[in-house]
Structure 1
């Protein structure tokens, strides 16, 4: 993470809907001590540590907390942890931790507390998701590419729509709040079937096809794990009514790209708004760039101007938790993988 040169955060973190498994996940109390910020020591992260009463220091045998600021470098992080076994808390930089999946599997039961930024970036991502849905419903891909006045009657409203949100994290919770003025009928599909406030119904993932059968708009906001990879494939997209719209702001690999292209090009899927793709970056000339009624944004739902202040807030909260004066936010369930 690098400094974006922007002001203070305009957003706040949003906690995901709590299920029985989440409620049972309690962090052990790690040993407090100096905190290292690696590899990029962004000044606002150090300020956040200090604001919470912590002390930033270079890596040493005394280090107890580690704020990892790179979305990559799993091997380097593995080596660092092996050479500093006294580190008791690790903060990862993004809401999704699929880039660290192998490392997290290998460190199950290592006694460390692992936290991510889940929920921290929910507001800007939910805002982007809503924008994509409205743009696709109103046929903006064709409108903005038109070089002449082409009047037609295409375009649909979000008001009163049957909406499905796949996932029940902070993005889903914030999306439900943003969608409330539209009077949508919202269904949340999640790992468990615990109710989500603001949703008319909540279904477990095994009933995904049932939820999709009447959906006009589907928002994908779930974590990418071994269990959710390819969650929406040809069969699931085929379960959608003709003309349905898909919006993905989570991870590209949750959706089968070939099946998505096929559904768009056939005209059966009414459109797609994608901030994430598989592969990513999406190569020039890929069919998704030219698919009917499709918008692709280059994974910018939460820009650095938004994420740096929000991540600083998460660092401050978890520094306080390390010191015993707060509660850890964004705890990673190493068994579930997010």
Structure 2
């Protein structure tokens, strides 16, 4: 009976030892803190981790931007300077990585069954956060660099409050990135949430540092789904006839025209619209010019809201009005001017493109 008890105790002890081994991280070495390298001694164990949180501006999803890959929102490009330290005194060289999502994959889990996908643009490459396995981006930077001089290695440890051991040289790096949300093309509607999600943590090769590191987070993903289809039609506007002896650099005539947009869907009358004019024959920020040789940069056209004196800038959003549920209309005037006296006679033309979408 006593022998049986001994065997059971031994088996139980081995079981606990195995569990302990599973719970140990293989190595942590890199602690990355925002800012330049410290100039005086500090205790890295109590150093404050920096978190940057981006609040997403409201997103409107319509039939026109639900196709896969349509960009719905993008943050500014952020540029962050960080210094990475060897807080576990490994005196090794490690590269810097962006570990996407958090350890439990909260961000991927929240979005992966929906018709939205969130990601990060780093060095011109988009990285969607859509995997439930670990995903990391090699930044191309060295986080910490092995120091072969024992005195310097000890000084590196002293700098961060380590009383013993040899520490790698800290490295200061600057990373630039932006965040985005795109349409997936399929999936259920995303339920708006005030929750904050971790986008990435900057760390070394050994994995996520248990003591923390710089993190980028995103919050307040607020999405409105709108049922409305817009149909835009092209039209020609006759600007009339002019004489070469007429004045230069003054509006010679303003010709009225109307843009009509057909709207279909139960939500069309609920929201105001924005418009934007663009042209491949742009002369300056408010003027387009003629296509024809001899008339290009001689004839100019400016677009005005009906009855107003201030022209509408190209490539700039302006209020387009509201739909009555089936039609959206806005009146404009096209003003013609000469930059210089035309040297030839004949017709001239130019192309004005317009876009209309929800405000």
Shared topology, TM-score over 0.5? Answer: no
- Normalization by structure 2: what TM-score? 0.18
Q: Which has the higher helix share?
A: 1
Q: For the pair shown, which has the larger CA radius of gyration, 1 or 2?
A: 2
Structure showing the higher strand proportion among its residues: 2
Higher relative contact order (CA 8 A, sep 6+): 1
Superposition TM-score, scaled by structure 1 size? 0.19
